[in-house]
Amino acid sequence: MLSPLASAISRGGKGISGVVRKAPGSVRCYSVQKQIDEFKAESEQLLKEIKTNIQPGVDFKTAIPKESQEIISHYKELYTSVAGPGATTLSSNPASFHKKPERVQQILKDYKTNIHQTYVKFLEKNPIEDVQPGVARMTSCLEAEEFPVTEPVRVCITGAAGAIGYSLAYRIASGGLFGPKTPIILQLLELPQAQNALKGVEMELLDCAFPTLQKVIITDSPEKAFENVDYAFLVGAQPRTKGMERGDLLMKNAEIFATQGKALNVAAKGADTRVLVVGNPANTNALIASHHARSIPKSNFIAMTRLDHNRALAQVAEKAKVPLSAISRVIIWGNHSATQFPDLSHAFIGEELALNVVKDDWYKKDFIPAVQQRGAKIIDARGASSAASAASSAMDTVFDWHFGTNAQWISAAVHSNGEYGVTPGLYYSYPVVFNDRREWDIVRNLPIDLFSAEKMELTHKELLSERDAVSKLLA
């Protein structure tokens, strides 16, 4: 039988991180800061009591009964799920404990009760669906001083002096992606003519004095930028400007991404490198880059459609007058373009089917075109393509890729093996679920009605035409 805390944890998935990843929206960190702080303070006090009441030389594990070991085990899992791979909790070194072992059982009993009550109180104040992604990773550790610093994560951002890259660099360097206990090495790539601007980015990053930022490398060499990277954000591309069609971007960017794919093949970690393609046309750029990066599995490339996914969530939330966290199972199928298919036929608003709330007429006549044309509307309004929202969506994608989605669906353009009739080899946006091993799986066997099938095939055909247009780079 699970202990009270174990039961509480299991309700939300795997610890607090299982709870926070349940919500589909972007990072929200401070709305539950007070509850997290209380949780941390009470836990730290009890842990302090435990440590001061075990005699020197007593083995920690044997001094604690099985039931109490279980609560410590679940507390370890809770912390590890927040802090990420490699994190540990509650040192087992007997030299770090002293005084009276006979008090341990009672202390642990109090600890278990306290943590359970605090956790339940936290969930009562912040229902699972209202807790936004990033709460745990930003407030992080319950007793931070006890945990070893994890190995640095090497992150490359191409086009790092551009609007999206600039936004990404600061958020990642601050610990906003991998947590406040994970050192970051940023490897920033820009064109030779943009090196002065990139130097300015480097100086600003250093001036921020982020504790998590271990090192900044700036370069115009793709091989140097991709050296031993864990994650690469391929942002740099010829931007889409007012009046420019997506087709105009194809050949302008195809050679850029072929070059970057070759550099990744030579310099990156291979199977341990994950690559998110943000620069448009993202799906086809991912196809080209992955083709030339033979040392990296094709499943380690993703083209970003999370921006479209987030746009879809925003449209539904506004229409239904509900919080973003109430909406689940929205899907973006196909290409990150005006042919994409934002699908609500499997979506829920709370416990109710979305199409029972927002109605079919709005869905087909207003919602689909609004999501498809959102990027163009932003360009019309500000004279430049999406930047802050694109950076935020890139962060969302890699956060889910790194930590997992706790069985929640998100949209990502991944390598097709023929799922839903899509030509194998294309990067097509599907509903996917990420596990905690940095792997994704497509949600399968969804019923597809005729309307949806036609929309899915339209965007499929566009991707085939894009592939054919750059075929010389895929030989």
Q: Residue 301: inside a domain, yes or no?
A: no
Do 134 and 246 fall within a single domain? no
Do 134 and 223 fall within a single domain? no
Residue at a domain's end among 112, 146, 180: 146
- Output the pLDDT for position 244: 64
Q: Residue 298: inside a domain, yes or no?
A: no
| Cis check: omega of the bond before 323, within 30 degrees of 0 | no
- Output the pLDDT for position 436: 87
Instruction: Spell 327-349 as b/e; 16+ CB within 10 A means b.
Output: bbbbbbbbbbbbbbbbbbbbbbb
Q: Give the C-alpha separation, 4 to 119, whole Å.
A: 10
Do 365 and 462 fall within a single domain? yes
Element (H, E) at 66: helix 66-83
Do 130 and 213 fall within a single domain? no
Active site residues: 336
Do 172 and 283 fall within a single domain? yes
pLDDT by position in tens, the chain (length 475): 333 333 333 333 333 332 233 333 333 333 334 544 555 565 555 555 555 554 455 444 444 444 444 555 554 454 444 434 443 333 333 333 333 334 444 454 555 555 555 544 544 554 433 333 333 333 333 333 333 446 899 999 999 999 999 999 999 999 999 988 899 999 999 999 999 999 999 999 999 999 999 999 999 999 999 999 999 999 998 866 666 665 667 888 999 999 999 999 999 999 999 999 999 899 999 999 999 999 999 999 999 999 999 999 999 999 999 999 999 999 999 999 999 999 999 999 999 999 999 999 999 999 999 999 999 899 899 988 899 999 999 999 999 999 999 899 999 999 999 999 999 999 999 999 999 899 999 999 999 999 999 999 999 999 999 999 999 899 8
Q: Residue 351: inside a domain, yes or no?
A: yes
Q: How many CA atoms lie within 13 A of 318 on its CB side?
A: 12
Do 348 and 454 fall within a single domain? yes
- Output the pLDDT for position 326: 94
- Output the pLDDT for position 144: 39
Do 111 and 69 fall within a single domain? yes
Do 222 and 338 fall within a single domain? no
Domain range spanning residue 66? 4-146
